[in-house]
Homo-oligomer: A and B are copies of this chain.
Amino acid sequence: MTDALPIAASVEVAGVLTDLFVVLLAAKLGDELFKRIGQPAIVGEILAGVIVGPSALGIVEPGEVLEVFAELGVVFLLFWVGLETRISELREVGRSALTVGVLGVILPFAGGYALGALRGDEPATSIFIAAALVATSVGITSAVLIELDVLRTRAARTVLGAAVVDDILAMILLAVAVGLAAGGGVDVAGIAGVIALALAFVGFFAVGGTKLMERRPQILHAPRFSESPLLPAVIICLGLAAFAAQIGLAAIIGAFLAGMMVAETKEQHPIEEEIAPLYAFFPPFFFVFIGTEVDLGALADADALLLLAAVTVLAAMTKFLGAWLGARALGRREALVVGVGMVPRGEVGIIVAGIGRTAGVIDDELFAVIVGMSILTTLAAPPLLRRLVRTDPDQAGAAAA
């Protein structure tokens, strides 16, 4: 029964297991506490991450293993969202989703660039600030929508569809920003290729993949396999997530598409029950990981705090306005839900800023500010969303139905 000292010696298994234990325990405590005080559970989990992370107790450092678990967390989260999404329902909101996605990218980008220009930043730096303000963290919004049990409403569908559009646009902007930071200019042909590939990927699996599964659910189910369809479904999820990441798209887009494909076979076998434990296990690592990335120390002077306030308000207002404008056709209430739902930046802003720092165009203070903005928009949106949905008779009806 030994892997005693040995495995511990080879990759510090003891340390990794301790980190995983601490993260899961902290997440559960934050979750339970926030549920009891009537707040969104994921906010409790993110704050638990701030507390156990380097900013406070310093028990957990965000390292490679934790990052992989966080990535799988958001992969299984979006796989779950995909499982609850039928392509037919997504198609109904196609036009609004496109408008929301596009306007929700243009306004924050313009605002971020203007802020950089006002501060007298280099164009490359301004472009990175702008790119960090662009991308919505659909992981955060999805988790709140699931918690409120409104994932099947029209507003929720619009947010999901817009997030796919948003992701493709953000990918393009980031490619441009990286090109400019490297001083190489913009490789138009290369970017056109990336766009074509992204559209082909999404189109192929969203349309062809779901149709295939609808017609041949036995791909996933008995008698082809001797046991439950859980592992085949998870293999499709990881496969499409890996494929998406390989072509430069977000892994979670692949996971979302995989979920939609598997959803088409639900009549054969209610697979949610078996996915649920994976959905319970992994996502807490994602939320806690976001919290561990906060650096409160770097924000401890007045200038930084002022800049943080400005960037946060700018990020929230421009995204809300763009998304709300795009969603007006859905009606007043739903446009509000979509607007607020697009606000959280979560991990995305942090990652873009990190790339800018590596490229040498984002300094440490600006990095901490962008991370702070990502966390603040992420913490602010869920309670607002909760209130909007709770007080809306239509949404409440839809949720109950």
Q: Which residues of A contact B (CB under 8 A)?
A: 1-11, 13-14, 16-18, 20-21, 24-25, 28, 32, 35, 64-65, 67-68, 71-72, 74-75, 134-138, 163-164, 166-167, 170-171, 174-175, 178, 225-228, 230-232, 234-235, 238-239, 241-242, 245-246, 248-253, 256, 274-278, 280-281, 284, 347-348, 351-352, 354-355, 358
Contact = CB atoms under 8 A, between A and B. Distances in A.
Contacts of A348: 2-3, 6
Contacts of A5: 171, 174-175, 178, 248, 355
B166 A230 contact: no
Contacts of A230: 277, 280-281
11 contacts: A1-B167, A1-B252, A3-B71, A4-B249, A7-B71, A16-B68, A17-B251, A21-B239, A24-B235, A230-B277, A230-B281
Given A167-B4, A174-B5, A239-B25, A245 B13 contact: yes
B347 A7 contact: yes
Given A21-B239, A238-B20, A355-B9, A32 B226 contact: yes
Interface residues of chain A: helix, strand, loop or mixed (majority): helix
Contacts of A253: 1
A1 B281 contact: no
Contacts of A28: 231-232, 235
B170 A4 contact: yes
A27 B174 CA distance: 37
A167 B2 CA distance: 5
Given A235-B28, A277-B275, A10 B351 contact: yes
A171 B136 CA distance: 50
Contact of A245 (B14, B71, B277): B14
A239 B178 CA distance: 42
A251 B167 contact: no
A166 B68 contact: no
A225 B231 CA distance: 29
B251 A7 contact: yes
A135 B1 contact: yes
Contacts of A11: 64, 67-68, 71
